[in-house]
Amino acid sequence: MTSPGVSETRYLGTRTDPAPLFAATGVTVRFGGLTALDDVSLAALPREVHGVIGPNGAGKTTLFNVCCGFVRPDAGTLSWRGREIGDLRPHRLAGMGIARTLQGLGLFRGLTVVENVMVGADRFHRSGFLSGLFALPRSTADERRLRERAWHAMSEAGVAGYAAAYPGSLPYPVQKRVALARALATEPDLLLLDEPASGLGHDEIEELGAFVRGLTERMAVILVDHHMDLVMSACDRITVLDFGRVVAAGSPGEVRDDPAVIDAYLGEAADRGGEHD
């Protein structure tokens, strides 16, 4: 086994890094007797795209779930803007400036596209519990701002034309864009993308890569995906997981040539041949 320490050192040594926006340090998660994540560290730098790759079952999604508070790590810490997050709860995430898309998309099926996106845009508008209790309507200025933010995110993701449709009636790639628009509408500083390329065609993946690069002007991105083309072209840094451990970390070039990666990830993919999606 390759010691994660070696690649860590090289990763940290390659350049003088700005302080990370978000960092997970020494995260360990056990499900019963299974260690899903073993001492995993990852740092997202401002305005960079950080990729997490690894074979199926390597712990990528578990790592994401830790990052957004769905799963509590048994050991390790998370920090946001240099400050440690003691108790990360999912509902606090949007307010902190972190958005996440889900593999299953998780669109609200009974809400129209624009309503779906407006739920995301809502994090800025905190009408109190009491005013909600008495069903006070939104002030028109708030309402307008909320709609504007939703429309902006929708046109950015190219789904403004589907505003009045219900998600279930749309083709899957469009639904994925709606989920993306909803995440963007929260105007996050960090966007977590869980398998953004799954279910997309070749051209759509290229488009997605360019889109993600464009996002770095205003946010950091962590993305988990199987598609090597996307990860290699869109990411500034990559962390490679295998069996819950970091086997390599660094720039796409460094990771591509790392024997541990070829062994753990590409080797396995080649072994399994057509079985891999």
Partner 1 sequence: MQQFLNVTLGGLSQGAIYAAFALALVLIWRATRIINFAQGSMAMFSTYIALVLIESGQSYWAGFAAALLAGLVLGALIERVVIRPVEGGPELNAVIVTLGLFVAIQALAAILFGASFESFPAPFGLSGFSVGEFTVAFTPFSAFVIGSVVVVMLALVALFRFTDIGLRMRASAFNQEVARLLGVRVGNMLTLGWAFAAVVGSLAGLLIAGGNLVHPAYMDPVIVYGFVAAVLGGLESPAGAVVGGLLIGLALSYVSGYLGSELVTLAALGILVAVLLVRPHGLFSRTTARRV
Residues that bind partner 1 in the complex, under the rule CB under 8 A: 68, 70, 90-95, 99-100, 102, 106-111, 115, 118-120, 122-123, 125, 127, 129, 131-133, 135-138, 142, 146, 182, 186
For residue 112 the two structure tokens come to 């129209």
What sections of the chain are H helices per DSSP?
4-13, 60-67, 90-96, 113-121, 129-133, 140-156, 172-185, 202-215, 228-234, 252-257, 259-261, 267-272
For residue 127 the two structure tokens come to 């009408």
For residue 52 the two structure tokens come to 């997490």
Whether the Cβ atoms of residue 73 and residue 28 lie closer than 8 Å to each other: yes
**How far apart are CB 101 and partner 1 at their closest, in Å?**
9
**How far apart are CB 102 and partner 1 at their closest, in Å?**
7
Work out the angle at residue 179's Cα, subtended by the Cα atoms of residues 23 and 136, and round it to the nearest 5 degrees: 100
Residue (9 or 127) nearer to partner 1, CB: 127
Residue (134 or 274) nearer to partner 1, CB: 134
**How far apart are CB 120 and partner 1 at their closest, in Å?**
5
**How far apart are CB 157 and partner 1 at their closest, in Å?**
16
Residue (101 or 239) nearer to partner 1, CB: 101
CB contact set of 54 (below 8 Å; sequence gap of 6+): 60, 240, 241, 242, 247, 264, 265
Residue (59 or 120) nearer to partner 1, CB: 120
DSSP reduced 3-state for 187? coil
**How far apart are CB 187 and partner 1 at their closest, in Å?**
12
Residue (34 or 133) nearer to partner 1, CB: 133
